[in-house]
Structure 1
Amino acid sequence: MDIYSTEEQQAEAIKRFFRENGLSLALGVIVGLGGLYGWKAYNQHQITTAEQTSDAYTTLVSSDNVLASADSFLSEHKDSNYATLAAFVAAKDAVEENKLDVASEKLSWIVANNDNTELTAIAITRLARIQIAQQQFDDALTTLEATLPEAFAANVAELKGDIYTQQGNKQQARVAYQAAVDAGGLTSNPLLQVKLDDLAISSPAA
């Protein structure tokens, strides 16, 4: 806008501007307010949905039989973080009830539906433990071939050592346990050294 020399010229210019652009300005205000209220409504919907999901999760994990309602919860809330947490709880309860197939199913669900790398890694290592308990050694080794964060290297190596030990392959077990030690596994599991020592090669008598 030009710089006007008198207040009268400025006032007249402002009037003319509103006469020429008043309708578009009004529409702009209406659209802007509509967008504002629409955004607020969207946010409120998100908050309400999150609160409802949180309440449903609390009800689920507080119930006496999580497994009976877990599948329904996962189906209804599969896009929420609560679904992953519910699947972990269901898997834990399944293991305690010795329903290892059910636990495996819930952990596999997490691997397939969760986007968090750390939670997926936890699910994968727990799934491998269940497969080891079921003596599904080849399946467990395949599960552990997944690309996991470096922080899980010791855990993965130790699990592989457990598999090779149960298969009677002491040499590979020793290599795997040593890899777990080298990756810092003793920090979280001092018993790892015991596993490695049990596989120590005896020196021939002099």
Structure 2
Amino acid sequence: MSTYQTEEEQVEAIKKWWKENGKAAIGGIVLGLAVVGGGKGWIEYQRVQAENASANYEGFAMAARSGDLEKAVQRGDALISAYQDSTYALFTALDLARMQLEAGDKDKARVRLQWVMDNASDEAIGKLAKVRLARLMLDMNALDEAASLAANPADDSWQGEFLSIQAEVKLARGDREGARSDFAMALKKGVSNPTLVNMKLQELGG
């Protein structure tokens, strides 16, 4: 995954890919499992489940766009309960975490993000949830938890995000030199908000 300006663009890119390729991906998975031991009835059931999950997600998305948090939570929780193994459940939990965080409910947002981390079969979605959870822990001054989530990042397109979180933890603990080094490396690896990271780096002497 390439670097995007904001994390919301990352989410939208994943959703766009899934919207364009999801049916083919589901079809391939269902066909593969059918070869292992499923019959035509089971294949049809899985196809209908996937289509129902998609339709329910559209209904949830409409409620979310309306700004009605209570209705969005009701529809979102119903979707997650009914289709918890689907990618749409992951999207729903991410959206609900964002909405609940914006409403000031950090604890509920934390639970949502942890659920996505624990249940994501898609690596990109799982790492996005991990980044957001680490930042939330940082915001809640849970420095040990934030540091643990950001520790030992893989050398991939998410590495810069985790390094920037490590830098924030070190800065909060008074390690300005360590923070400066991590901010610099984060910029080199790529982050979703390079302007902000560069500003913090310059404040530490570049």
Whether the aligned pair in 2 keeps the contact of 1:118 and 1:149 (CA below 8 Å) is: no
Offset of residue 162 of structure 1: 1.5
Q: How does 1:1-206 map to 2 (within 5 A)?
A: 39-63=39-63, 64=68, 65=70, 66-145=72-151, 147-148=153-154, 150-185=156-191, 189-200=194-205
* Secondary structure of the corresponding residue to residue 106 of structure 1: helix
Q: Distance in 2 between matches of 1:76 and 1:148?
A: 33
Alignment-mate amino acid for residue 152 of structure 1: W
- Please give the per-residue CA displacement for 1:128-183, whole angstroms capped at 9, x wherever unaligned: 11111111111100111265461011111111112222222212111211221232
1:114, distance to aligned residue in structure 2 (A): 0.8
TM-superposed CA distance for 1:184, in Å, is: 3.5
| Root-mean-square deviation over aligned CA pairs | 2.1
- Change over 3 Å in CA distance of 1:41–1:149 after alignment to 2: farther
Provide the C-alpha distance between the structure 2 equivalents of 1:149 and 1:75, rounded to a whole number of angstroms: 35
Structure 1 gap ranges (5+): 1-37, 202-206
Residues 77, 83 of structure 1: 8 Å contact kept: yes
Displacement of 1:44: 2.7
3-state SS of 1:190 partner: helix
Q: Which has the higher contact order (CA 8 A, sep 6+)?
A: 2
Structure with higher Rg: it is 1
User: Percentage identity across aligned positions?
Assistant: 23
Measured in 2, the distance between the counterparts of 1:73 and 1:171 equals 46
Using the alignment, how far apart are the partners of 1:70 and 1:78 within structure 2?
11
Deviations 1:36-68 (A, max 9, x none): xx9443333222222221222222232223224
Which blocks of at least 5 consecutive residues in structure 2 are unaligned? 1-37
Distance 1:170 1:88, change over 3 A: same
